[in-house]
A and B are shown apart, each in its own frame.
Chain A
């Protein structure tokens, strides 16, 4: 078999012969970037990558209209696809993306999501109220709500002194076991928050129900201590981390509600498009919830055990809450108006 010379070739074969070398070069560059990243390229190579990519795209477009060589078309399509994935890769620096997220992204998303936030906090508060009132009516409700492993002896009928001890830990823990406790809390609570968030896509009801149930638990728990005359003490005990932690659950629920509302009431969009639209703010709410849970776990794991004074607990808890509020209310204001 011999190769025919160029003048003998048919048009599409000539087209290919003229460009094949540049495709092969692009293939080599793409393989290199896929293996060791864009940073491995020299300045000249990076420039070449871009221009060779455009040439290959051009070739694909021309080949589709002049060539019936199936293998060539498949090759060009795959080459362009690979090069496209290499060139349109995420190129933001992680620090830049994080900075944008914290300065503008999250606070603006929170300010845009008033209704879902109301739903999230309402679920918690109504649950809390229901739990409190039911307990006052009949303390045996407590056993219905609270699973025994969570109650840990803190049940109706427990003596006031036992309850007091459970609030003001007298046995001193060393720093290490506090760290274990904090990391357990974080790992556990974050999973629950992601759960509450993701369930929101099923028209928000499961998120609402889970948050409501958490509220009922909380209400019954407070009522139990209030009956023993320890009302302010339990509020302080809960406040130091709870202001952040319980708000985080509500925020996660709000993120879920945002998705659920998009499914329930997509407006003039299709449900799928509405869901996609809502996800931008919803995901930021979920990230915020995760962040708050990290802080809450640190506070619950360390500070609550180390600080035994009721007033200091209240001040730290609500002060932290105030900080969250200030950040979310004020950050990223001028950029918002600038856009």
Chain B
């Protein structure tokens, strides 16, 4: 269920993948929004009544207008002003995007939020109030409401009905982390480890990127060091590396291997020989026969 992606095609023509938000974070954002709007209104009235500047007639007018405004209009205005993010969504770091790669239009925002009354508020209020009769219609209503609440869990992009009508997706806000380039860190001074084509031809892109994750941080604990050494020994065995290797050199060995392996694979890739993983030989052999 985790890690679903949706590819959008911006006008520039380079597809970008967005992570579809999990049902949990969407529920969290919705609950936060409800808490913020209703809680905010409650606090406002406590303060207003405490200050006592307004009389009851004005307070009642304000109350009726606000109970209306904090339902649908709040979500529409928030998503219009903050480009697809209500306060709850900002806290949970999710946002609404248009599924056609264009900009989010006011129409889409209004459409998806108008459906909220039936899709979110009605079922939640009814189910939480606990007052439903056990007659046939009562049960049918109950199942119908549960069904509506389950719609986002049952389709590929976790869209609720409003999202489908408006053509919108709710995605995670992409996080920016730029790690240093591992190939520019050369640990060995002078005597580097050198590998020949045969040795570099064993692995593919997948193994390279797993190695990248291992090399991101130097092992700290004894256990991490052991694991790193085991990786190095496995690589030595698999590629048939002949020279003697001291345990102290394992880290440098892996770094050198990563750099040369990446250069080799990227070159092969440019020449049209993309090696996805270590089974590339099997595939190539299969094609020839």
Chain A residues in the interface with B (C-beta under 8 A):
1-4, 8-13, 16-17, 20, 23-24, 27, 54, 57-58, 60-61, 65-72, 74-75, 77-82, 84-85, 88-92, 94, 97, 176-177, 179-180, 183-184, 186-188, 190-191, 194-195, 197-199, 201, 259, 272, 275-276, 279-280, 282-283, 286-287
Contact = CB atoms under 8 A, between A and B. Distances in A.
Q: Which secondary structure dominates chain A's binding surface?
A: helix
A68 B261 CA distance: 10
A89 B67 CA distance: 29
Interface string B151-170: 00000000001001111000
B208 A1 contact: no
A177 B80 CA distance: 34
A245 B3 CA distance: 48
A13 B183 contact: yes
A204 to B, nearest CB: 13
A276 B167 contact: yes
A275 B164 contact: yes
Interface residues on B, range: 35 or more
A200 to B, nearest CB: 9
Interface string B45-78: 0000000000101101100110110011000000
A179 B57 contact: yes
A23 B178 contact: yes
Given A69-B262, A176-B57, A283-B114, 15 more contacts: A4-B186, A12-B266, A17-B181, A65-B269, A65-B270, A77-B16, A78-B176, A82-B173, A88-B103, A176-B58, A179-B58, A186-B68, A190-B68, A201-B118, A201-B161
Interface in B105-140: 105-107, 110-111, 114-115, 117-119, 122
B263 interface: yes
B104 interface: yes
Contacts of A194: 72, 114, 117
Contact of A90 (B58, B68, B105, B216): B105
B282 interface: no
Contact of A61 (B14, B115, B165, B174): B14
A96 to B, nearest CB: 11
B114 A2 contact: no
A20 B175 CA distance: 17
A75 B176 contact: yes
Contacts of B110: 283, 286-287
Nearest to B263: A10
Contacts of B115: 198, 201
Nearest to A73: B209
Given A77-B16, A88-B102, A280 B107 contact: yes
B183 A184 contact: no
B161 A79 contact: no
Interface of B: 10-12, 14, 16-18, 55, 57-58, 60-61, 64-65, 67-68, 71-72, 80, 83-84, 95, 97, 102-107, 110-111, 114-115, 117-119, 122, 161, 164-167, 173-179, 181-187, 189, 205, 208-209, 212-213, 216, 259, 262-263, 265-267, 269-270
Given A69-B262, A286-B114, A90 B104 contact: yes
B83 A89 contact: yes
Contacts of A24: 178
A191 B209 CA distance: 54
Contacts of A2: 186, 189
A191 B68 contact: yes
Contacts of A78: 174-177
B209 A68 contact: yes
B145 to A, nearest CB: 12
B71 A191 contact: yes
Given A66-B270, A199-B118, A92 B14 contact: no
A141 to B, nearest CB: 21
Contacts of A82: 173-174, 176
A28 B115 CA distance: 37
Contact of A198 (B84, B102, B106, B118): B118
A71 B182 CA distance: 10
A69 B165 contact: no
A149 B16 CA distance: 56
A176 B110 CA distance: 32
B273 to A, nearest CB: 13
A41 to B, nearest CB: 15
Most buried by A among B18, B60, B205, B266: B266
B164 A68 contact: no
Most buried by A among B17, B60, B104, B105: B60
A78 B57 CA distance: 52
Contacts of B122: 195
A198 B178 contact: no
Contacts of B12: 54, 57
B114 A197 contact: yes
Contacts of B106: 90, 92, 97
B262 A90 contact: no
30 contacts: A8-B186, A10-B259, A10-B263, A13-B183, A23-B178, A61-B14, A68-B208, A68-B209, A68-B269, A69-B212, A71-B178, A77-B174, A79-B174, A80-B16, A81-B18, A82-B173, A82-B174, A85-B95, A179-B57, A179-B58, A183-B60, A183-B64, A188-B64, A194-B117, A198-B115, A198-B119, A201-B165, A275-B165, A276-B166, A286-B114
